[in-house]
C-alpha cells in the first residue's frame, strides 16, 4: 500500500523549457526557510536523501560524493602542500568535509551568505556534521567576495562552490574577470590554485556557461584545466575549471596523483584516482572545439545567460547565496 501511495507524490523539475522530469517523493524530511531561500531535505526514490534550495536540486546522497571529490581533490593534490583553503559558498558542508580530509590543511575559511542553510545542513546532513564541528573550520555567513578581499593573509587553494552565473543572479559577479583578477589572484599564495564548479558541460549544454567560465579564467591565469563528469542528479554532464598560477603543477602523472592521494588524504576515494582524472581531463573533440571557439569573457557588463538549458540553474553548494 505504501508503495502505491509513495508513487504518487512527485517533485517536478524543469530541465529546460521543453523538458521536465519528476522524481518520486518518499518523504519530506525537513523544511526550513531563510530570508534568502527555502531549504528542504526530501527523500526521493531515485536519488535518496536530496537537498533542495528553492525547490532546485543541490545534491543527493547517491552522487554528491562524485561532485565533491571532483571539486576538491584534484586541485588539492596538484598543489604541493595546501595549508590554507578558502571556500566561496559551500554551505552544504560537503566541500569542507572533503577539504578537511587533507592532513596538510591547517585553516579552512568558508563563507556562505546563508546562516540558515548552514545550520540546517549542520543539523540534518549526518555525513557533513563533523566538518561543521572541526576546529580547523572558520565559518562566516556573509558575502564571499567582501570576506575574501578583507581576510588577512592569502590562501593556497580557493574553491568556488557557487550557483551558476545567471545574469542578475546573486553569483554572477563571482565569475567575472574582475573578481578573478582583482580578488582571487591577489589572495592566492605563490603556486596557489583556484577551482570552480562551472555548470553543465554536456554536448548540448557546454556553451551555456562552462566554456565562458573557462575563457574568462584563461584571460587571467597562465593555465586553466577543464574537466567533466556525468552527474545523475543534475541530468547532465557537469564541468569544473581549475586555474593554476604555476602551469607546471598541471603536469602531474596519474601515478603521482595516486601517491599524493594516498599520502595526504584520510580514507579512500570512491570515485577519483589518477587514472580516473586522466580520463576526465581528456575532453572529447566536440567539447574541445566549443572551448576553442569561445570568446566570451564575463565582465560586469558582459554576461552569457543560462537560459532554457538542461539542468540550468541547478546547483551548486549554497552558492546561490555565496554573495549577496
- Report the C-alpha gap between 194 and 148 in whole angstroms: 13
DSSP codes, 276-291: HHHHHTS--HHHHHHH
Per DSSP, 220 falls in state T
Number of residues that bind a second copy (CB under 8 A): 65
Active-site positions read 161
Q: How many angstroms separate the CA atoms of 170 and 165, rounded?
A: 8
Among 30, 151, 271, 305, binds a second copy (CB under 8 A): 271
Sign of the C-alpha dihedral, residues 113, 114, 120, 123? positive
**CB 276 to a second copy: min, Å:** 4
Quick one: 186 or 286, whose CB is closer to a second copy? 286
Using alpha carbons only, give the angle 239, 29, 92 rounded to the nearest 5 degrees: 35
Q: Which of 33, 103, 186, 307 binds a second copy (CB under 8 A)?
A: 33
Query: Per CB under 8 A, does 146 bind a second copy?
Result: no
Task: Select the span of 16-24, 107-115, 182-190, 297-305 touching a second copy (CB under 8 A).
Answer: 16-24
| Residue 208 binds a second copy, judged by CB under 8 A | no
**Which of residues 80 and 232 has its CB atom nearest to a second copy in the complex?**
232
In this chain, which of 80, 247, 279, 293 binds a second copy, going by CB under 8 A? Answer: 279
Query: Which residues are CB-contacts of 269 (< 8 A; sequence separation ≥ 6)?
Result: 69, 73, 261
- Least distance between a second copy and beta carbon 260 (Å): 15
Chosen residue from 270, 292, 295, 301 binding a second copy by CB under 8 A: 270
Count Cα atoms within 13 angstroms, Cβ side, for 109.
22
Identify which of residues 78 and 183 has a Cβ nearer to a second copy in the complex: 78
Interaction between residue 46 and a second copy (CB under 8 A) = yes
Give all strands (DSSP E) within 162-246, no chain letters.
Answer: 188-200, 223-231, 236-244
Piece in contact with a second copy (CB under 8 A), picked from 28-36, 83-91, 245-253, 297-305: 28-36
Interaction residues for a second copy, span 284-313 (CB under 8 A): 284-286, 288, 310
Decide if residue 17 touches a second copy (CB under 8 A): yes
Contact partners, residue 220, CB within 8 Å, separation at least 6: 177, 180, 181, 184, 185, 243
Which one, 225 or 272, has the nearer CB to a second copy?
272
| Distances, alpha carbon 156 to alpha carbons 70, 78, 82, 194, 210, in Å | 18, 11, 5, 9, 24
The Cα 312–Cα 307 span in angstroms is 7
The secondary structure of residue 248, as a DSSP letter, is G
Q: Which stretch binds a second copy (CB under 8 A): 32-40, 101-109, 150-158, 209-217?
A: 32-40
Task: Find the shortest distance in angstroms from Cβ 272 to a second copy.
Answer: 6
Cis preceding linkage at 316, omega within 30: yes
Per CB under 8 A, which of residues 231..250 are in contact with a second copy? 232, 235-237
Least Å from the CB of residue 252 to a second copy: 15
For 315, how many CA atoms within 13 A lie in the half-sphere containing its CB? 31
Residues at the site binding a second copy, with contacts judged by CB under 8 A:
1-2, 4-13, 15-25, 28, 33, 36-38, 40, 44-46, 52, 54-55, 62-63, 66, 202-204, 229-230, 232, 235-237, 269-273, 275-276, 278-286, 288, 310
Amino acid at each position: 500500500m505504501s508503495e502505491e501511495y509513495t508513487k504518487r507524490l512527485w517533485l517536478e523539475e524543469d530541465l529546460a523549457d521543453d523538458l521536465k522530469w519528476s522524481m518520486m517523493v518518499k518523504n519530506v524530511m525537513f523544511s526550513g526557510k531563510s530570508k534568502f531561500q527555502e531549504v528542504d531535505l526530501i527523500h526521493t526514490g531515485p536519488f535518496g536523501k536530496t537537498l533542495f534550495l528553492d525547490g532546485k536540486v543541490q545534491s543527493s546522497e547517491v552522487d554528491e560524493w562524485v561532485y565533491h571529490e571532483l571539486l576538491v581533490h584534484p586541485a588539492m593534490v596538484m598543489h604541493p602542500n595546501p595549508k590554507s583553503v578558502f571556500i566561496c559558498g559551500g554551505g552544504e558542508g560537503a566541500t569542507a568535509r572533503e577539504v578537511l580530509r587533507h592532513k596538510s590543511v591547517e585553516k579552512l575559511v568558508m563563507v556562505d551568505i546563508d546562516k540558515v542553510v548552514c545550520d540546517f545542513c549542520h543539523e540534518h546532513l549526518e555525513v557533513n556534521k563533523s566538518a561543521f564541528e572541526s576546529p580547523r573550520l572558520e565559518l562566516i555567513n556573509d558575502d564571499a567576495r567582501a570576506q575574501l578581499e578583507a581576510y588577512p593573509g592569502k590562501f593556497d587553494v580557493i574553491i568556488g562552490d557557487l550557483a551558476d552565473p545567471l545574469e542578475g543572479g546573486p553569483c554572477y559577479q563571482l565569475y567575472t574577470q574582475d573578481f578573478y583578477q582583482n580578488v582571487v589572484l591577489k589572495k592566492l599564495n605563490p603556486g596557489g590554485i583556484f577551482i570552480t564548479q562551472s555548470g553543465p558541460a554536456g554536448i548540448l549544454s557546454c556553451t551555456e556557461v562552462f566554456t565562458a567560465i573557462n575563457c574568462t579564467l584563461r584571460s587571467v591565469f597562465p593555465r586553466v584545466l577543464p574537466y567533466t563528469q556525468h552527474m545523475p542528479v543534475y541530468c547532465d554532464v557537469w564541468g569544473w575549471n581549475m586555474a593554476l598560477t604555476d602551469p607546471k603543477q598541471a603536469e602531474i602523472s596519474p601515478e603521482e596523483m595516486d601517491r599524493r592521494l594516498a599520502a595526504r588524504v584520510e580514507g579512500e576515494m570512491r570515485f577519483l584516482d589518477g587514472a580516473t582524472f586522466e580520463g576526465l581531463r581528456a575532453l572529447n573533440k566536440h567539447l574541445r572545439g566549443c572551448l576553442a571557439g569561445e570568446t566570451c569573457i564575463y565582465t560586469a557588463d558582459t554576461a552569457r545567460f543560462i537560459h532554457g538549458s538542461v539542468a540550468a540553474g541547478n546547483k551548486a553548494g549554497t552558492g546561490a547565496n555565496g554573495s549577496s
